[in-house]
Chain A
């Protein structure tokens, strides 16, 4: 069975570099890639009554927007690459969700981009790369 590589993708420059890296790897190994986009979400956040009312509608809109604006173009661009491409679009904590996508897809590797600068918020709350290194069930490659 050909293995799969999960790529964390958010449309940023570093994510594109991670994707290029993953595609090259996949070609070399004959593996498929899973382009995973995670919408940051905590079930323990606080919302106003109006936000609650509209949540289901907004969720649909957010998913549709991510699908058309983010995932579809990149999948299209990889059509002729010869690599088998699938996508995963999920809500949740980014690192944990990437790890669970990896498990669900039985992937053998995770590739993510590095944002490059260490902002204050990532110092306080940890970066995606940092927490993924802790949570990942498979080797993680961080592309600078």
Chain B
């Protein structure tokens, strides 16, 4: 669908909505209620705190894993950062392999699946609830998460399936089964099945409903309020056209525009920071002070920490296993090279882009500070920091950027919609891989999943943010539970590869072409 016809469709939809608002809103309410009721137990389990504390065990699970991988691989994310960049530049790519998937392409595709709402809306949620201090924990989680990503993507390439027709399938399902068998460990198949189930839920949740939901929120911001299921139906139609109809043109346009949007987003953030250069020191002061004291946010320091870690994990997906699926198509003789390349992903996603969002929100003073105490003021419910216009989520980011450049809200709306769309396309693929792992490959089984995926687009757009974001987080973190468990058993394999590769790199046996 061209942009022209899409906007025409939106206009028509707007009129329809105006004629039957009560009816339409009640559909949204019903969807929302049914959804919250049916997923509540799952969410409570994943986010249950350690007994006697308020600290969710899942957050600890992710951070401990990232720390273990960081130490086990001797701070691989810092040692091989430069080499990773040279790999992406193609310095080590054999020119005779031109036409195959390059490191750059694998990274770009994986990034377009992760860079998105987590960086815009997720960060706003983190900073809105956890205060500026959440940024500190977010950056730390991003830096540590680079090691998790390195581990899973190396394994993803090493144990991918290469079929006779030349296509490849990779991901945690495959390293769980093949890697466990290779090490003589039982249970690989069981883990793979469990992972696949959660991956499907994650694809439908964070990779789909959350995206549809926030895209709708953006649209209502720009064109005024109308029922969510309408956005859902339109989005579902476009997604259907791409993943079922094989309409490559839309995907192609998105794949090209998304990176441009990403660069533009960061560039605008940098300009806003330069305009407020005198406040950057203050903002970092708030981030450090908030990281350890909370500066009055709900939950104090722990609240900031939980929010920072949670949103970082949701944004960069390190340890979740999704990236292992995305990266596994690269052409390389050395699986570990894709591991190096993939560790750039949390860096770009979290350490650079998320930090930009957080800094802009802090510097434009969207969060209200009580002048007498210097602490942040909470909203009436006491659940989050009061903001200038009462915004949260993507609206908060939008307000922050717009306070510097009024037109930016339109760019951001477009960016959010495109990011949402590209993330959906990526996750429809991750979900599909898990689905075909469970039910076998074949046109009909694939079509069933794709149709279910499109239905969830509508549900996601219609439900309200609370239940959707809870379920999305829960499903994606459930993937991480299984994936990281498997990574602990498989990490010696990665260490072997790392040692061997670095030795050969040192001795000049790894050939440099450029």
- Across the interface, do B166 and A48 meet the contact criterion of CB distance under 8 Å? no
Looking at B112, B166, B429, B430, the one whose CB has the most chain A CB atoms below 10 A away is B166
Q: For the complex, what is the distance from the CA of A56 to the CA of B251, rounded to whole Å?
A: 19
Q: How far is the CB of B514 from chain A (nearest CB, A)?
A: 11
With an 8 A cutoff between CB atoms, is A92 at the interface? yes
With an 8 A cutoff between CB atoms, is B37 at the interface? no
Q: For the complex, what is the distance from the CA of A56 to the CA of B329, rounded to whole Å?
A: 9
- Across the interface, do A46 and B98 meet the contact criterion of CB distance under 8 Å? no
Q: Give the contacts of A86-119 with B (CB-CB under 8 A).
A: 90-92, 97, 100
- Across the interface, do B99 and A57 meet the contact criterion of CB distance under 8 Å? no
Stretch from B102-110, B129-137, B458-466, B490-498 contacting the other chain: B102-110
8 Å CB contact of A57 from B109, B166, B426: B166
Q: How far is the CB of A127 from chain B (nearest CB, A)?
A: 21
- Across the interface, do A92 and B167 meet the contact criterion of CB distance under 8 Å? no
With an 8 A cutoff between CB atoms, is A120 at the interface? no
Residues of B within 8 A of A77 (CB): none
- Across the interface, do A55 and B255 meet the contact criterion of CB distance under 8 Å? no
Residues of A within 8 A of B258 (CB): 46
Residues of A within 8 A of B93 (CB): 43
With an 8 A cutoff between CB atoms, is A53 at the interface? yes
28 contacts between A and B (CB under 8 A): A39-B99, A43-B98, A43-B104, A44-B105, A46-B105, A46-B108, A46-B109, A46-B258, A47-B108, A47-B109, A48-B251, A48-B252, A49-B329, A50-B429, A52-B105, A52-B109, A52-B330, A53-B167, A53-B169, A54-B167, A55-B101, A56-B166, A56-B167, A57-B167, A63-B99, A92-B95, A92-B98, A100-B95
Residues of A within 8 A of B256 (CB): 46
With an 8 A cutoff between CB atoms, is B49 at the interface? no
With an 8 A cutoff between CB atoms, is A13 at the interface? no
8 Å CB contact of B101 from A44, A47, A97: A47
Residues of A within 8 A of B169 (CB): 53
With an 8 A cutoff between CB atoms, is B165 at the interface? yes
Q: For the complex, what is the distance from the CA of A62 to the CA of B166, rounded to whole Å?
A: 13
8 Å CB contact of B168 from A39, A41, A44, A56: A56
Contact digits for A10-38, partner B, Cβ 8 Å, 1 yes 0 no: 00000000000000000000000000000
With an 8 A cutoff between CB atoms, is A45 at the interface? yes
Q: For the complex, what is the distance from the CA of A46 to the CA of B107, rounded to whole Å?
A: 10
- Other than the given A53-B167, A56-B166, A92-B98, 9 more pairs (CB < 8 A) read A41-B99, A43-B90, A43-B93, A43-B102, A43-B104, A46-B112, A46-B255, A48-B426, A48-B429
Looking at B95, B103, B165, B429, the one whose CB has the most chain A CB atoms below 10 A away is B95
Q: For the complex, what is the distance from the CA of A90 to the CA of B100, rounded to whole Å?
A: 12
Q: How far is the CB of A103 from chain B (nearest CB, A)?
A: 11
Residues of A within 8 A of B98 (CB): 41, 43, 90-92, 97
Residues of A within 8 A of B251 (CB): 48
With an 8 A cutoff between CB atoms, is A73 at the interface? no
With an 8 A cutoff between CB atoms, is B83 at the interface? no
Q: Give the contacts of B108-141 with A (CB-CB under 8 A).
A: 108-109, 112-113
Chain A, Cβ-Cβ closest to B168 = A53
Size class of the B contact interface (CB-based, 8 Å): 35 or more
With an 8 A cutoff between CB atoms, is B259 at the interface? yes
Identify whether the interface residues of A are mostly helix, strand, loop, or mixed: helix
8 Å CB contact of A49 from B103, B330, B426: B426
Q: For the complex, what is the distance from the CA of A132 to the CA of B16, rounded to whole Å?
A: 58
Q: How far is the CB of B111 from chain A (nearest CB, A)?
A: 10
With an 8 A cutoff between CB atoms, is B331 at the interface? yes
Q: For the complex, what is the distance from the CA of A114 to the CA of B441, rounded to whole Å?
A: 47
Supposing A43-B93, A92-B95 touch, asked if A49 and B326 sit within 8 A by C-beta, the answer is yes
Residues of B within 8 A of A91 (CB): 98-99
Q: For the complex, what is the distance from the CA of A49 to the CA of B432, rounded to whole Å?
A: 11
With an 8 A cutoff between CB atoms, is B425 at the interface? yes
With an 8 A cutoff between CB atoms, is A59 at the interface? yes
Q: For the complex, what is the distance from the CA of A52 to the CA of B325, rounded to whole Å?
A: 11
Q: For the complex, what is the distance from the CA of A10 to the CA of B102, rounded to whole Å?
A: 25
Q: For the complex, what is the distance from the CA of A57 to the CA of B163, rounded to whole Å?
A: 10
Residues of A within 8 A of B426 (CB): 48-49
Q: How far is the CB of B414 from chain A (nearest CB, A)?
A: 18
Supposing A56-B331, A100-B95 touch, asked if A48 and B425 sit within 8 A by C-beta, the answer is yes
Residues of A within 8 A of B95 (CB): 92, 100
Contact digits for B241-261, partner A, Cβ 8 Å, 1 yes 0 no: 000000010011001101100
Residues of A within 8 A of B108 (CB): 46-47
Residues of B within 8 A of A46 (CB): 105, 108-109, 112, 255-256, 258-259
